Amino acid sequence: MVAAIAALALISGVLIGCIGIGGVFLVPCLSLAGVDVHAAIGASMFSFIFSGAIGVWLYARHGSIAWRSAAWLAAGAAPGGFLGALLVAHTRGDILLLLVGATVAFAGWRVLRQAASKPDSRDVRLAPLLLAGIGAAVGIGSALTGTGGPVLLVPLLMWLGVPVLTAVGLSQAIQVPIALMASLGNFWTGSLELPLTALLSIGVTFGSAVGARIAHAVPAHFLTRLVAVALVLVGAIVAVQSGHTLARQW
């Protein structure tokens, strides 16, 4: 069981570092293994503190983080993450996972449709208030579902025309404030289990370091399609898994 969780954390970390998603695997897979969904969300969010920190460092070294945009996103994401963590104790995880799965799959489909015709331009600039609003929404949604931010932020920014590598870099940057504030809220509500939290943190951190190096070694066009396909697959898996859970309960 411990080895399986460690492997899951490592794979998730690679995906987080490479294409900005991966954390979405943790909660549903841990739930399938019998871990309480609230404990899974708490441990996952805490692990994203470390994956986000190492992701920021590696992406910043390559100049792949738009710091002004990251600051405005973080201004909304930090309080959003704390609020989401307070709400998660009173929210059914299966319903949230179903909604997130459907949203992520649709986002991937949209990106696939746009990839062939939409150029990878670096001139797109979003208004500060829009960025703060996006950050707040992503912070709440991430803390509620334990997805860490990238799985929601990356497709949204790509819809708005932000280049894939820039979107992934920004998603790395806001992981830290979201994870910090969400973990504070989860600690407040008693949703942190230390052994599980430590195991996930180690695996996700090492995986993120590997994934960030992979991201800068492949063409942006290929990375865009990889993100889109991964979003569709992850969204479908999460939606089906949570749908089955709801069907059994009803």
pLDDT in tens, 27-54: 777 877 788 878 888 998 998 888 788 8
pLDDT at position 214, please?
78
pLDDT at position 28, please?
73
pLDDT in tens, 146-189: 877 777 888 788 778 888 778 888 988 898 999 999 999 988 88
How far apart (Å, rounded) are the C-alpha atoms in residues 166 and 243? 33
pLDDT in tens, 2-15: 888 888 888 888 87
Residue 228 has pLDDT above 60, yes or no: yes
Task: Find all residues with CB under 8 Å of 142, minimum gap 6, and list them.
Answer: 45, 77, 80, 81, 84, 148, 149, 151, 152, 178, 182
Domain of residue 229, residue span:
2-249
Q: Do the Cβ atoms of 185 and 81 come closer than 8 Å?
A: yes
pLDDT at position 250, please?
64
How far apart (Å, rounded) are the C-alpha atoms in residues 228 and 108? 4
pLDDT in tens, 104-132: 677 677 667 665 555 555 556 789 999 99
pLDDT at position 128, please?
92
The three-state DSSP-derived secondary structure of 137-177 is: HHHHHHHHHCCCCHHHHHHHHHHCCCCHHHHHHHHHHHHHH
Number of domains forming the structure of the chain: 1
